[in-house]
Structure 1
Amino acid sequence: MTIQSRIQMRVKRSKRSVFLRSDFEDIAGYDQVGRVLRKLALDGLLMKIGYGLYVRARKNRITGKLMPDNDGGADGVLIEAMERLGVDYKFDDLSNMNLTGQSTQIPASVKITPKDPRFTRKITVGKQCVNTDMPEVD
């Protein structure tokens, strides 16, 4: 089996949707894994969401564009990425009020911020971001 087919099989069989480059270090070296992940992102199996961070992708049935293959959507991907990186995070006030039962209003988007100000890694899934300003709306 080639390196690409081994990584591809692991991605397809995995229960998680967010992958780090280090998840595949038992298959090949750092550079080889990087090349294969970049190729899989071009092929549409993965989406790059940050430095060394990838999420399994699928085509949207309506628009035909790539989207994260996660039940929680973009918010779920960001939460899983923060947990995979081992970073403590907090939600915005509206989301906290909804999660604790103080409010029945469901926020349109959840803003996730890391608790440690030294965490400067940028993670972007669609229009949801961590450590970046909100992108311009066209």
Structure 2
Amino acid sequence: MPRRDSLQAKIEQRIAERSDDVFLTREFADLGGERQVLRALSKEVADGGLIRLGYGIYGRATPSRLSGKPMLANPGGFTGAVRIALTKLGVPWEPSAAERAYNEGRSTQIPMNPKLKVKGRFSRRLSYDGKPLVIER
């Protein structure tokens, strides 16, 4: 149990108060130095409260009922969490061609791999559970 006034406790409190499922490192920059914040977020990942999706991007985690391991709490899964993260980062995105074809009824194939079309500059690698996000240009 961290002390009440520690950085770890402040970060845990801020995560508990927010309804978001995705957090950026810069959202905690006012609490302490960059290295301290990264260390505290790494501890949250180790404790199972967060899942690291990529550089500076973390998702809220809940324990799986089957295995007990942490899994993303976002109802939209990894793709939904990435959409929230890209929106927070200010990167314009739209659904992939396969997802648009399925939503418009032109295809019966359900897109399974996480894929988005990014319009702006974006070079981060995002992944969850060993599956990377595929970016269309």
Task: Compute the TM-score of the two structures, normalised by the length of structure 1.
Answer: 0.83
Whole-angstrom CA distance in 1 between matches of 2:95 and 2:81:
14
Alpha-carbon contact 2:51-2:58 (below 8 Å) kept: yes
Aligned partner of 2:111 in structure 1 is: 107
Whole-angstrom CA distance in 2 between matches of 1:88 and 1:131:
15
Whole-angstrom CA distance in 2 between matches of 1:21 and 1:103:
39
Instruction: Tell me by how many angstroms 1:92 deviates.
Output: 2.2
Q: Percent identity?
A: 35
Task: Compute the TM-score of the two structures, normalised by the length of structure 2.
Answer: 0.83
Alpha-carbon contact 1:121-1:131 (below 8 Å) kept: no
Instruction: Tell me by how many angstroms 1:98 deviates.
Output: 2.6
Alpha-carbon contact 1:41-1:47 (below 8 Å) kept: yes
Deviation per CA, 1:25-64: give whole Å up to 9, x if none: 1211212111111111111111111111111111110122
For structure 2, which runs of at least 5 residues remain unmatched after alignment?
none
Whole-angstrom CA distance in 2 between matches of 1:119 and 1:107:
22
Q: How many equivalent pairs are there?
A: 131
Cα separation, partners in 2 of 1:88 and 1:128, compared to 1, 3 Å? farther
Alignment of 1:25-104 (within 5 A): 25-103=29-107
Q: Does the residue aligned with 2:132 lie in a helix, a strand or coil?
A: strand
Alpha-carbon contact 1:44-1:66 (below 8 Å) kept: yes
Query: Quick one: which amino acid aligns to residue 122 of structure 2?
Result: F
Aligned partner of 2:127 in structure 1 is: 124
Query: Quick one: which amino acid aligns to residue 129 of structure 2?
Result: G
Aligned partner of 1:15 in structure 2 is: 19
Whole-angstrom CA distance in 1 between matches of 2:92 and 2:67:
34
RMSD: 2.0
Tell me which stretches of 4 or more aligned residues in structure 1 moved more than 6 Å: none
Alpha-carbon contact 2:114-2:134 (below 8 Å) kept: no
Cα separation, partners in 2 of 1:18 and 1:129, compared to 1, 3 Å? same
For structure 1, which runs of at least 5 residues remain unmatched after alignment?
133-138
